[in-house]
Amino acid sequence: MKFATGLAALTVAIASTLAIGQANAANEQLTFSSNPSARCQPATKVSEALIRKRPLAMVNEGTTNATINCAFELEARQTLAQQVTVFLSNSTATAVNATCTGISGWEGMSAEPGVPPVLTEYVPVQLSVPAGGQSDPFQWADADFENGTGGLISVSCVLPPGVAINDTYADVLIDDAVAPAAP
């Protein structure tokens, strides 16, 4: 179900790309999935003390909120569309609200190096995580960022006690007919 939701959203992104005339017979969709231990880490020393790093999830076992940051591997050179998705689970007996924020670009990203304005954007999403269950997808596509992504999308999640970050997905639509740019 989770993969289907992500696939459906990426299909919309693909259709949007095709609708604006950038279609090419060589378009290819790539999906990279991972447990959070490969992509995520606690954001602070305080969060580090609260988070249990398991192979399948990173769980807040403390009594206060903890923050997790995740970075995704995205193909930037030939990309027509990008999307990242994370899922949270809740091991408590009460539904909780959780907030994750999609972040575009890199520190100091601007139209011209060293020249304001900074183009990095933050797009927060708040969802309910049901008691003993899993959240709907927290999802960001390149189109969610007014200034683009610069090829990079990161995610920061505030995990309430008993909440874990589970599986993560990075989807890209690339144009294989375009030669990669020289480094």
Of 23, 176, 4, nearest to 87 (Cα)?
4
Q: Domain coordinates of the chain in residue numbers?
A: 2-175
The top-level CATH class assigned to 2-175 is: mainly beta
- Cα dihedral 159, 39, 86, 165 sign: negative
Report residue 149's pLDDT band, with 50, 70 and 90 as the boundaries: confident
DSSP designation for 36? H
User: Mean pLDDT throughout 140-168?
Assistant: 90
Q: Which residues of 27-56 are buried (b: 16+ CB within 10 A; e: fewer)?
A: beeeebeebbeebbebbeeebeebbeeeee
State the Cα–Cα distance between residues 101 and 144, nearest whole angstrom: 12
Q: Is 111 exposed, middle or buried (0-12, 13-18, 19+ CB in 10 A)?
A: exposed
Beta strands in the chain (DSSP E): 27-34, 40-42, 51-53, 58-60, 66-71, 79-90, 96-104, 110-112, 115-118, 122-129, 138-141, 153-159, 163-175
**In angstroms, how far is CA 32 from the centroid of its own chain?**
11
Instruction: Note whether 173 and 79 are within 8 A (CB).
Output: yes
Instruction: Note whether 167 and 87 are within 8 A (CB).
Output: yes
DSSP designation for 147? T
Structure tokens at 3: 């993969």
**36-91: pLDDT as tens digits:** 999 999 999 999 999 999 999 999 999 999 999 999 887 766 667 889 999 999 99
Least confident of 14-18, 54-58, 85-89, 135-139: 14-18
Of 147, 155, 156, 153, nearest to 118 (Cα)?
147
Instruction: Note whether 110 and 25 are within 8 A (CB).
Output: no
Is the model's pTM score more than 0.85? no
Instruction: Note whether 134 and 153 are within 8 A (CB).
Output: no
